[in-house]
Amino acid sequence: MKKYILILVSLFVFKTNKSLGTCLFIKPLFISDSTVLLLKSDKTNPFKFYYNGFFLERPIVNKVDTLTSFVLDINSPVLITVFDSIPNKLTSYSRFHGVNTVNSFLVYQNESLLVQKGSDGLTRMVSKDSVRTNELSFFVEMEKKLGLFDGFGDELPLRLTASERLDVVEKLFMSRMLFLENYQKNHTLSNNFLNQVEKIFYYKRLSHLMSPYYSIYNGTFKKRENLIDNKIDEWIKFDEEIYFNHDYRGAILGYLYYFAVTNNEKPNLEYLMTLANQKLKNKTKEVALYDLLLLAVRTGNEKTEEILSLYVKYAAEGFIKDYAVKSYKPLIDTKHLGVGSDILNSPLVSSKDFGNYTWNDILNVDDGNIKYIDFWASWCAPCIVEMPLSMELNEQYNTKGIQFVYVSMDENLSAWKKAIARIGLTKSLNFNMADGLKSNFAKKFKIQTIPHYMIIGKDGKVINQDAPRPSDPKIRQIFGDLLKKK
């Protein structure tokens, strides 16, 4: 059975919606166990996109303004979500739909697809296999008729009563199933595709029903309703085939929250960890445990160390646990180093050995260098844009007495390490700051957004806590003046 992923694509066209021309295919020159997207655009019609993989790393922005091959490493089933490169917080369906193009695609492993925006402004994926092209067009055609399937426009109003909400989610589910039935009459589809889409619709319905009542992310917006509780009991079921789907994962976490509340237990993350271990099995259990740990890390939960211990205790050995421990354990372990009044004790993790360091280890080194600190993250688009210029400055000034230090705000060390390799920072000094913008160091120096830059004198004292970016011509003048004084 083929494994596949759901890609939800929102591409923002900056200048024109002209057709991009004839579909072209190229032979992939990449590893075989990956999907290759051939992204076709040009300078007059660029777009940006990013995606979120199975491990929910913060996504990387990719700009496409030429013919580009992009590799998705999806050796295991994952959900990849691609949103608008310019975040849009509109929640009204009528305002959101039509403002930005939002398309969804089920993509298998190990295939090569063309991605381009057509004259109608809709993003299309095309395969050399006609059946796959039918499948890739399914969500595009459904959204044209029924509206957005995912994203802000897919949210339901909180004001709905329990009976109204149940009625809306049932109607949405039935209309989507009916569209699938009718689409199949005129387009050849594989059984795998049909099975997967039906399950995606099923768990989308359950997720929609539960979200305002039992949300691991938002708590409870509305008081309990017997009608909702009864439907949850009727609809909840565990399905190993779709364990990677984000609606399924959300529904399972919602169910754990629901079970805790209905049994008069506090739905804190420690209890939900234990509950997941007791109530769930196999891949569903492994993903739920991972998602709970990830939530603890991202929200800065004060019990993160205890939650990590529970995760290590309950999670089975395998690729999910290997990734989780490698990505989060070093950061969690460093947090206790920051205790105390000395701000320079704020903890850091080195990219070289994942060892524990503090700001003292950087600033109190008598090497005679001025330090230019670049605060960034793998998911920060403006940060990535500045990187080529930052590395150019680094190459120009590192032998003259200015040392570049790159400090990441990533909460996921694996995503951080991948970005270091991709950008070309492997030979630079790289650290990750535990707690990121929430850290004592960030608060002390008012680092509220990234990218952010600081200049530290060779004596370890701050010269400029809000220095110009690498793209700002003023930075060269500042460097020049500082080196003259040196």
Closest CA relative to residue 12, chosen from 69, 82, 104:
82
Span 170-192, pLDDT tens digits: 999 999 999 999 999 999 999 98
The CA distance from 305 to 217, in Å, is 19
Q: Residue 372 pairs with which residues in a beta bridge?
A: 404, 455
Q: Which run of H or of E encompasses 200? A: helix 191-210
Span 269-314, pLDDT tens digits: 999 999 999 999 999 999 999 999 999 888 878 888 899 999 999 9
The CA distance from 156 to 284, in Å, is 26
pLDDT of residue 366: 62
- Beta strand extents in 310-451 (DSSP E only): 347-350, 356-358, 370-376, 402-408, 429-433
pLDDT of residue 50: 55
CA dist list (Å): 222 to 219, 250, 406:
9, 18, 44
Of 131 and 143, the one with more pLDDT: 131
Domains and CATH numbers, the chain: 1-147 (no CATH), 342-485 (3.40.30.10)
Q: Which run of H or of E encompasses 251? A: helix 246-262
Q: Looking at residues 315-340, what average pLDDT do you find?
A: 76
The CA distance from 428 to 38, in Å, is 32
The CA distance from 74 to 95, in Å, is 34
Of 373 and 36, the one with more pLDDT: 373
In the 8-state DSSP scheme, what is residue 95? H
The CA distance from 434 to 346, in Å, is 8
Quick one: pLDDT band at residue 450, thresholds 50, 70, 90?
A: very high
Q: What is the DSSP string of 467-483?
A: PPPTTSTHHHHHHHHHH
pTM for the model stands at 0.73
Q: Looking at residues 198-204, what average pLDDT do you find?
A: 93
The CA distance from 130 to 189, in Å, is 10
Q: What is the length of the chain? A: 486
pLDDT of residue 343: 65
